[in-house]
Structure 1
Amino acid sequence: MALPRPHRFDVYIAAGGLLGGLLLAGVGLGTRRSSDPMTLFDGPWPVLVPLTVLAGCELLRRTAPRTALLTGTAEICADLVTQGNIATLLMFTDVVYAAVLYGPLASARRIQWITGLLTVAGTLVPFAVWRTAEALLIGVVVGVVAYAPAATGWIVRNHRDAAEAARLRAEQTALLAEIDRAQAVTAERARMARELHDMVANHLSAIAIHSTAALSLDEPATSKQALSVIRENSVAGLAEMRRLIGILRDAGGDTEPAAAPTLDGLAALVDGARANGLDVHLDTDEQVRVPAPVELAAYRVVQESPTNALKHACPGRVTVALARRDGLLDVRVISPYGHQDGPRAPGSGAGLAGMRERAALLGGTFRAGPRGALWAVHATFPVSEGESE
């Protein structure tokens, strides 16, 4: 399998080391004299073999660092029996550094240990044999050529890994923040949709039903009564819309957000449904006290159910019942149910979805469906004992 192309920077290092070594060899500059006992191959030209091979190792310093280190180690040993070349030593130190920086983590740790042991051995063994201070220089040279590059590569690798980990953490944090932002936007849009539907849909439904009655019946008294109901619901719906728009714009100043409806307003809500022509009966304990979120959700369920009954139910009584028992607020709305030509006003189905969402958000339950000749809406909201407004 062909090796990957070397990095451009590695090509520059290899070319520079090779040209520098050739220049030193050409002028006869070596690291040892010809008279040195270790110099088995005299002259400037034998140094070219390890020099050229190490220049080739520089081309592999990123793509195959372990191969480059093993080959470079063999060539630096071969360089010891020649007059030597400083460029060869420098390229070997770079190969050691690159093997620790770019090689596998396990290999980087082993190179650290091996070069450290070689440095210690190169210091203690010659001194124990020759008993001269000059023998300690061998350990210094081994440390400079082998251990120092390995230690430097390890430090740079740790800094690089730390920087990469910090970058990944920053990206993950940014991704989580974006997910949270998207979820918050989605939740807020769903909340706004529920509030808009609950505040305005019942008024618009009443307008649609009574306008249909006014157009279909040629009775002045009935038409006048229908137009009166239409006007009342138009004014109320417009007021609700203005309050909602004021909240969305966060206008401040004299524009105060509307107070959240409470269960105390159920009587007025039922009276409004009766004014719209619905026979509604309210059965609730006046002493029911629950937390504000539960109170708002229960109020919206009761508000939506008569609206649906007005649009879809057959003639008959609608019963609204609220009771607190066993740590739950129980809301039930029963209306007549039967076959008819179609709804008296168009619906989107968002009302049932909104009630189900409100119950789910508070950990409650919601069920709606036919029960024989009746349509039953049943919602429960958990309320801890002692928890109240």
Structure 2
Amino acid sequence: MALRPTRPSRFDVSVAVGGLLGGVLLWGLGLAVRPHTEPYVLLPGRWPVLLPLVVMAGCELLRRTAPRTALLIGTPAIVLDTVTQGNLVTILMYTDLMYAAVLYGPPASAHRIPRITGLLAVAGAVVPFALWRNPEALLIGVVTGLVAFGPASTGLIVRNHREAADAARLRAGQTALLAEMDRVQAVTAERARMARELHDMVANHLSAIAIHSTAALSLDDPGTSRDALAVIRENSVEGLAEMRRLIGILRDAGGDTEPAAAPTLDGLGALVDAARTNGLDVHLDASPGPVPAPVELAAYRIVQESLTNALKHAGPGRVAVRLARRDGSLAITVTSPYGDREGPGAPGSGAGLVGMRERAALLDGTFEAGPETSPRGRIWVVRAALPVVEGEPE
């Protein structure tokens, strides 16, 4: 429920003024609820009628700002009105105070007031009838129900509908917020995936181009320059083809820009041959057997990025690539000499290691990379273990 205002609203002021003027009009016309000859009219005459009318009109100013206070003040006023000739507008304003106390009051009062007024209506019908044995005595309970229980029940119904509507709006807002969070997460995940694919598909070719172009510029040897330019051209063509395939995936176009099938472990031989063409001494030992497609793609990309890093940073010597099934996982190990390289290198940003670690994490696998000491000296080792669920579709 919304916070109650601290000052009467224009509507409340209008109700109070309108009720007061309407009551005064009925009083001026001499239209009373009861004739002065009734035995329970303890304050006969016209003037006593005005006091409960004025008090009730003042309570109407508090119907939203202090609904319980207005009801507590209005109840003695309506009791006072019953011992006078009475005014219909005073009774109507009291029913509005009862309705407002339930609708705008605290939750505890909103549920307590209808129960109390319901008991009073029943007691007002049963007790007088039991005492006087007169069917007309039942009218006391009926009047009590119309003046108190009816407005209180109506206020409770309206309040419940408003609370249900507020809860529905809150749930709708939360659902929209969750949907937006899911959308943002999906976009972020897709951007990260595309960044990994772009890096893995193109970085190898660009690294080779950078290294061989530096060699061609630094060595004054036509034969070496010619060989370097051949490697540069080959990597440029392959890199351009990879970029076109990636653009085809982004555009979802047909024809010549159809995205190529995801690389598999069967393509490791061609990947190693390309690395050898770029100047690496690579030894491949791969006998993983059939593995699920996501694991196969991640393993291929990890090997590809490891060879790219070796091309950019490794010292002279052999690069060993091993893939094997071990303890329900596909174990990947890539080792390369660690130290200053003889020829030109290429700068690195660290994005490759991040991408490999992300690929392993997405499959609940493990990844580590760093220098180690081996019998043949310092080496850089990349290790990854990608779980392979037995019986999973390949």
Q: Normalising TM by the smaller chain, what interval?
A: over 0.9
Task: Identify which range, 360-369 or 39-48, moves more after superposition.
Answer: 39-48
Deviation at 1:132, TM superposition (A): 2.4
Taking the aligned partners of 2:255 and 2:162, their CA distance within structure 1 comes to: 54
Alignment-derived partner of residue 329 in structure 2:
328
Q: CA shift at 1:17, angstroms?
A: 0.7
Q: Which residue of 2 aligns with 1:344?
A: 345
Name the CA distance, whole Å, in 2 between partners of 1:32 and 1:4. 38
Asked if 1 retains the 8 angstrom alpha-carbon contact of 2:12 and 2:63, the reply is yes
- Aligned CA RMSD, in angstroms, stands at 1.4
Shift of 1:298: 0.5
Q: What's the CA shift for 1:255?
A: 3.6
Q: Which residue of 2 aligns with 1:180?
A: 182
CA deviations over 1:135-191 (Å, ceiling 9, x no partner): 222111111000100110010011000000000000000000000000000000000
Aligned-pair CA distance for 1:339? 3.9
C-alpha contact (below 8 Å) 1:312/1:343 kept by paired residues: no
Asked whether 1:383 is paired with 2:388, we answer yes
Q: SS of 2:48's equivalent? A: coil
Other structure's SS at 1:37 match: coil
Q: What residue number does 1:146 align with?
A: 148
Gaps of 5+ in 2: none
Q: By how many angstroms is 1:340 displaced?
A: 5.6
Task: Provide the C-alpha distance between the structure 2 equivalents of 1:368 and 1:46, rounded to a whole number of angstroms.
Answer: 96
CA contact (8 A) 1:116 1:143 kept: yes
Cα distance in 2 for partners of 1:231, 1:263 equals 26
Residue of 19, 34, 37 corresponding to 2:36: 34
- 1:303 is matched with which residue? 304
Secondary structure at 1:160's aligned position in 2? helix
Cross-structure match for 2:237? 235
Alignment of 1:198 with 2:203, yes or no, is: no
Task: Please give the residue correspondences for 1:1-389 in structure 2 after superposition, counting only pairs within 5 Å.
Answer: 4-253=6-255, 255-285=257-287, 288-339=289-340, 344-372=345-373, 373-389=378-394
Q: Distance in 2 between matches of 1:314 and 1:261?
A: 28
Q: Tell whether the 8 Å contact from 2:215 to 2:343 is kept in structure 1 after alignment.
A: no
Instruction: Quote the offset at 1:40 in angstroms.
Output: 1.6
| One-letter code aligned to 2:329 | L
Q: Partners in 2 of 1:301 and 1:388 — Cα distance?
A: 22
- Paired residue type of 1:110: R
By how many angstroms is 1:27 displaced?
1.3
Flag as ranges the 4+ runs of structure 1 deviating above 6 A.
none
Deviation at 1:254, TM superposition (A): 5.4
CA contact (8 A) 1:362 1:382 kept: yes
Q: Is 1:335–1:376's contact at 8 Å kept on the other side of the alignment?
A: yes
TM-score, normalization by structure 1: 0.96
Q: Residues 314 and 253 of structure 1: is their aligned pair in 2 closer, same or farther, counting only changes over 3 Å?
A: closer
**How far apart are residue 264 of structure 1 and its match?**
0.6
Mapped to 2, the partners of 1:151 and 1:333 lie a distance apart of: 77
Letter in 2 for 1:66: R
Is the CA contact 2:215–2:344 (under 8 Å) kept in the aligned structure 1? no
SS in 2 for 1:47: helix
User: Structure 1 pair 92/343, CA: closer, same or farther in 2 (3 Å)?
Assistant: farther
**TM-aligned CA deviation for residue 325 of structure 1:** 1.0
Give the letter aligned to residue 314 of structure 1: G
Q: Which runs of 5+ in 1 are unaligned?
A: none
Amino acid at match of 1:293: P
Question: Amino acid of the residue matched to residue 310 of structure 1?
Answer: L
What is the DSSP-based 3-state SS (H/G/I as helix, E as strand, rest coil) of the residue aligned with 1:46? helix
After alignment, is 53-62 or 172-181 more displaced?
53-62
One-letter amino acid of the structure 1 residue matched with residue 326 of structure 2: R
Amino acid in the other structure paired with 2:86: G
Q: Report the identity percentage.
A: 75
Alpha-carbon distance change, 371 to 282 in structure 1, aligned in 2, over 3 angstroms: same
Judge conservation of contact 1:26–1:44 (CA < 8 Å) in 2: no
> C-alpha separation between the residues in 1 aligned to 2:128 and 2:343?
105
